Amino acid sequence: MIEAENLTKRYGDRLAVDDLSFTVVPGRVTGFLGPNGAGKSTTMRLLLGLDRPHRGDARIHGRHYRDLHEPLRVVGALLEARAVHTGRSAYNHLLCLAQTQGVGRRRLDEVIDLVGLTGVARKRAGGFSLGMGQRLGIAAALLGDPSVLILDEPVNGLDPEGIVWIRTLMQRLAAEGRTVFVSSHLMNEMAVTAEHLIVIGRGKLIADCSTEEFIERSTEKMVMVRTPDTARLTEVLTAEGAKVQPGGDPGAPLTVTHMEAPRVGELAAAEGLVLHELTPRRGSLEAAFMELTRESVEYGADPGAPPGAPPGAAPGAVPAQEGKTR
Ligand SMILES: Nc1ncnc2c1ncn2[C@@H]1O[C@H](COP(=O)(O)OP(=O)(O)OP(=O)(O)O)[C@@H](O)[C@H]1O
């Protein structure tokens, strides 16, 4: 279990994490979502005791990271920055870590196999692709067989096969009863990986709910309707409170919002209107996520600052570049 309570971290006059409270429970994958620069990595560093909060508290299994007995056997972490001795082989890199943690060679071989690096384990880690580096980082996180996993953007640099692999792995680790907390800025990826979501924007909590609820809440339901009598159907639906947008081309379906498909069908039937299509659809999840987090950025902006400038930026200042160098 991971608990963040009123976590606050400031860099200069920028609030990277702003009074953030949430709990991550075991047994399911919890996605930590937010656009670039939202404060995900900073929060993860605070949870791992790598940075000190200005205010608030972060606990793992009820304790501060620094108070954990054998922390690497409790928490496995993959952070964005890759800390690998480039001249060392993947095997030796993991062996060094294993020795500092009192992990035996059997477990070492096990994790190498688990992350699919057996064939290249004796090769220099410096020559690894980004995806292989991610696998190596995940192997390191799993070495101590920890009950809590904190993974920062683990799908970064992975090819489609690698993405499916890491998704399956995270779900399996969660099903074993571990706490799996994984950050991403990719809404669609998290939607199929995580059961629960914690969404932040500009360091502030925007949502803490099940993925299903988030999708339900964030995406607008639409109904695509085709009829030979577009004008009449538009009139009937609009009179009942629906919003109707014409399709671009002649014969293209109308897009109806603010009304469910069965009601559209009923009203058409009551008017004796023929329907050639009646299809419920959802708006794009990625677009809904962008919209949701964009709004939080706007609320956070200093009214005197130029558009796009970070909170606290002086009027006339050039907007700072989001995120950090990788
Ligand atoms: N060491 C630092 N010094 C100064 N500012 C920092 C530092 N680390 C992070 N920041 C700033 O704090 C904010 C949050 O950054 P953070 O890296 O936590 O966001 P993020 O959500 O992880 O973004 P990304 O997806 O780009 O990694 C950003 O504005 C970033 O520029």
Q: How confident is the model at residue 10 (pLDDT cuts 50, 70, 90)?
A: very high
* The pLDDT of residue 323: 33
Ligand 1 pocket: which of 9, 42, 43, 297 to mutate (most atoms within 8 A of CB): 42
Tokens of 11: 């860099």
* The pLDDT of residue 84: 65
Q: State how far Cα 133 lies from the chain centre.
A: 20
d(CA 39, CA 26): 23
Please state the rounded mean pLDDT for residues 288-313: 50
* pLDDT tens, residue by residue, 239-283: 999 999 998 777 789 999 999 999 999 999 999 999 999 999 877
Question: Could you tell me the distance, in angstroms and rounded to a whole number, from the CA of residue 323 to the centre of ligand 1?
Answer: 5
* pLDDT tens, residue by residue, 191-224: 899 999 999 999 999 999 999 888 887 777 899 9
Ligand 1 lined by 34 (C-beta under 6 Å) = yes
User: Tokens 């496995």 sit at which residue?
Assistant: 76
* pLDDT tens, residue by residue, 123-149: 887 778 888 888 899 999 999 999 999
Sequence letter at residue 130? L
Who's near 77: CB < 8 A, 6+ residues apart? 44, 48, 141, 149, 150, 151, 152
* The pLDDT of residue 218: 77
pTM: predicted TM-score of the whole model, two decimal places = 0.79
Helices (H), the chain: 40-47, 71-74, 90-101, 105-114, 130-142, 160-175, 187-193, 211-218, 230-239, 261-270, 285-300
Nearest Cα residue to atom 29 of ligand 1: 37
Tokens of 154: 């683990």
Q: Which of 183, 187, 202, 208 is nearest to 296 (CA)?
A: 202
**pLDDT tops 60 at residue 162:** yes
Sequence letter at residue 229? D
Nearest Cα residue to atom 12 of ligand 1: 16
**pLDDT tops 60 at residue 307:** no
* The pLDDT of residue 285: 76
The values of phi and psi at residue 318, to 5°, are -80, 135
3-state secondary structure of 234: helix
* The pLDDT of residue 286: 80
* The pLDDT of residue 313: 32
Question: Could you tell me the distance, in angstroms and rounded to a whole number, from the CA of residue 101 to the centre of ligand 1?
Answer: 30
Ligand 1 lined by 10 (C-beta under 6 Å) = no
* The pLDDT of residue 126: 77
Question: Could you tell me the distance, in angstroms and rounded to a whole number, from the CA of residue 77 to the centre of ligand 1?
Answer: 18
Please state the rounded mean pLDDT for residues 28-41: 93
